[in-house]
Amino acid sequence: MEQTLVILKPSAVIRGLMGEVISRFEKKGLIIAGMKMVQLDDKILAEHYAHLVSRPFFPSLKKSMMVSPVVVMCIRGVDAVAVVRAMTGATNSRKAEPGTIRGDYSMSGQQNIIHASDSVENAEIELARFFDKSEIFDFKPAMLDYLYADDEI
Ligand code: IDP
Ligand code: MG
């Protein structure tokens, strides 16, 4: 199964939306294989958002990601990267479809509740950035036999 990185941003933590968002992933049938609260800093954000460091909004983005701790999650499932991106919705929450996390909980292009890895390759890099191997757990959820047909996993 694939694994992907989700970050519950300060906009989720401070607004009290952590449970709502985590619950969506659980109800979908995704497996939460790792989860912890961390305070991000300049160094890790410059790495994580390396593709955006030259953009004018980068200082504001960085600040917004450090105003509170965040929750980092490793989410596992068949096609987890694409499934979680679809659940996340468009970057600008005002354009995100209703029914997506950003579409339902945010009005902002920046304070948009969660980060989700955008490819299998980036998911691997990002998970290694935020988690030690020992913090990602391989266990069998009780409902696994009812989440997928035998030939899907
Ligand atoms: P993504 O989070 O949907 O993958 P990226 O383009 O990777 O979008 O941007 C990372 C984060 O940077 C976004 O989630 C958002 O918080 C912020 N961001 C992206 N574009 C803008 C912008 O034009 N203005 C302000 N913030 C932005
Ligand atoms: Mg991105």
Tens-digit pLDDT profile for residues 83-136: 999 999 999 999 999 999 999 999 999 999 999 999 999 999 999 999 999 999
Q: What is the pLDDT of residue 40?
A: 98
Helix segments in the chain, DSSP class H: 10-13, 18-28, 42-48, 58-66, 80-88, 101-105, 120-130, 144-147
Ligand 1 contact, 100 CB (< 6 A): no
What tens digit of pLDDT does each residue of 23-35 get? 999 999 999 999 9
Q: Is 9 annotated as a binding residue?
A: yes
Ligand 1 contact, 91 CB (< 6 A): yes
Average pLDDT score over residue span 7-18: 98
Q: What is the pLDDT of residue 55?
A: 98
- Under the banding of pLDDT at 50, 70 and 90, the label for residue 5 is very high
Pick the atom of ligand 1 nearest to 64's CA. 16
* Residue 102 neighbours by CB distance under 10 Å: 26
Nearest to residue 126, comparing CAs of 2, 10, 21? 2
Q: Which amino acid is at 139?
A: F
Whether 115 is catalytic is yes
Q: Are 101 and 93 in contact (CB under 8 A)?
A: no
**What element of type H or E holds 7?**
strand 2-8
Average pLDDT score over residue span 19-46: 98
Average pLDDT score over residue span 42-47: 98
Q: What percent of the chain has pLDDT over 70?
A: 100
Q: What is the mean pLDDT of the chain?
A: 98
Find the 35 Cα to ligand 1 centroid distance in Å.
23
Ligand 1 contact, 90 CB (< 6 A): no
Q: Which amino acid is at 117?
A: S
Angstrom distance (rounded) from CA 80 to CA 144: 15
What tens digit of pLDDT does each residue of 54-73 get? 999 999 999 999 999 999 99
pTM higher than the cut 0.95: yes
